[in-house]
Amino acid sequence: MKTGAWATLVRWLDRCAPPLAFVGLLLVWEGGVRIFAVPSFLLPAPSAIVTALLATPLPVWAGHVWATLRVALMGYALAIVVAVPLAVGLATSRFLSRTLYPILVVVQSTPIVAVAPIIVVTLGASDLPRVVITFLITFFPIVVSTVTGLLATPEELIELSRSLRAGRRREILHVRLPFALPHLFSALKISTTLAVIGAVVAEFVAAEKGLGFFIAFSTSYFKIPTAFAGLVVLVSISLILFRLIGFVQKAFAPWSLPKSER
């Protein structure tokens, strides 16, 4: 009986550990700020952030969230559309791999934050530069992971498909791509957060709306709790997008998940 109660407690703690740790952290933060009387412009207390969050009208939040989400999703979609076929090309053609891979590494090694102002000047003040910046930050992990997945297909499977006279196209579509799905989905998850970061970076450079603009704007008025509230909303969006990709994977390609997560 005693053992049963103990086991239940351990199970309960195991289930509740993440939210409890989070609540604990918030309490330490709130307590620390209050005890040491830290000014709100240095580190606002969680309660001050919540107050700032609620003080900003819902339509204002909706406008900024929509502006950031729109750019993040467009850049993300563009990254997938470009990265997946590109990865197939890189994985299947030595010529393409030798020619394009170094260029991609150069693009990835370029600090996008530094070139973002130039992109905005070149492409004008519209959604386009923001989408391009998001795309540039997002697409490389998708390319690399997909190529890794495509190349990790076991040789026996390739030989089997060839012995069954499957063409090149069938080999990619029915053997290599399904095998690359776990890699692709993990890259897609990472890229959702990168897409949000990309959109915010772009908004810091030039925007009239969006959470990046909102944070820059609040900071320029030294309203740090409001800027933190913007950060909270941004993190929430990233988490929601991250979970959404998880749901999509579970719903449409459950075989690509580890057995414990199906």
Q: Please check whether residue 200 is in contact with residue 238, taking contact to mean a CB–CB distance below 8 angstroms.
A: no
Considering only residues 23, 25, 27, 60, which one is a binding residue for another protein as defined by CB under 8 A?
A: 60
**How long a stretch of residues is the chain?**
262
Work out which of 109, 163, 220, 260 binds another protein, going by CB under 8 A: 220
Q: Does 258 bind another protein (CB under 8 A)?
A: no
Which residues, 138 to 197, sit near another protein by CB under 8 A? none
Q: Which of residues 97-116 bind another protein (CB under 8 A)?
A: none
Q: Does 58 bind another protein (CB under 8 A)?
A: no
**Mask 12-51, x = binds another protein (CB under 8 A)?**
---------------------------xxxx---------
Q: Using the minimum distance from each CB to another protein, give the nearer residue, 4 or 59.
A: 59
Assigned token pair, 11: 């199970």
CB nearer another protein, residue 130 or residue 223: 223
Cα 78 from Cα 136, distance rounded (Å):
10
Q: By C-beta, is 48 or 177 nearer to another protein?
A: 48
Q: Does 62 bind another protein (CB under 8 A)?
A: no
Size of the residue set binding another protein (CB under 8 A) = 31
Single out the residue of 135, 140, 179, 214 in contact with another protein (rule: CB under 8 A): 214
Tokens representing 6 are 């103990």
Q: Should residue 56 be labelled a site residue for another protein when binding is judged by CB under 8 A?
A: yes
Question: What residues make contact with another protein under the rule CB under 8 A?
Answer: 39-42, 56-57, 59-60, 117, 120-122, 124-125, 205-208, 213-214, 216-224, 226-227
